[in-house]
Structure 1
Amino acid sequence: MIREKRDLKPKDLAIITIIGKDRTGVVAHVSQALYEENVNIEDISQTIMGNNFVMVMLVDLKNAKKDISGLRKKLEKVGEKIGQQIQIQNEKIFESMHRV
């Protein structure tokens, strides 16, 4: 019998929001930055509102090379490069701030 090796380490989820003018390459740039830091994208949603691009990502940081502060700095630089506002926040904090 072959046993599947399971990763028992709990997920460390964060929410990333990207807002800016719609342009080619936004998803590619953000995804590449996350890939470089070993961040797993759990879920992604995007839409175009007028001329604005809006994307929300649920990511798992449990195997990330940097902590959330380091990722925030990297994503801010990516955002400056591509003309987007990018924010990252721990999922629990995000959820508590957005409860009605």
Structure 2
Amino acid sequence: MVVFVHGRDRPGIVAGLASVLADANANILDISQTVMRGIFTMAMIVDVTEAKLKIEELRRRLEERGKQLGVEVSVYHMDVVRYLQRP
């Protein structure tokens, strides 16, 4: 799956979201993040093949943690992202 995050930068965003993934036994395969003028953005490619939770529950937990951290979290199945990138 692909996880997109954006919002006001503050300490603990990456750790907070990564802990949700680790608790679910999901693996971050790739991560990119940047901060521009105080706005944090991040994209993660996450392997959920060994996850202990269904994607819907993992999405809910990530979105909930995002709210606690003051950021917006969007979770997509990789096939959706690939479809949107087609020419």
Pair in the same fold by TM > 0.5: yes
TM-score of the superposed pair, with normalisation by structure 1: 0.83
2:56 pairs with 62, 69, 85, which one?
Answer: 69
Between the two proteins, what is the percent identity of the paired residues?
A: 36
Cα separation, 2, equivalents of 1:63 and 1:78: 21
The runs of 4+ residues in structure 1 deviating greater than 2 Å are none
TM-score of the superposed pair, with normalisation by structure 2: 0.95
Displacement of 1:36 in angstroms is: 0.3
Equivalent residue, structure 2, for 1:52: 39
Which one has the largest radius of gyration?
1
Count of residues in correspondence between the two structures: 87
Residue segments in structure 1 that go unaligned for 5+ positions in a row: 1-13
Amino acid at match of 1:94: V
1:33 pairs with 8, 20, 43, which one?
Answer: 20
| Residue aligned with 2:50, SS | coil
Which protein has the bigger helix share? 2
Does residue 89 of the first structure (1) align with residue 76 of the second (2)? yes
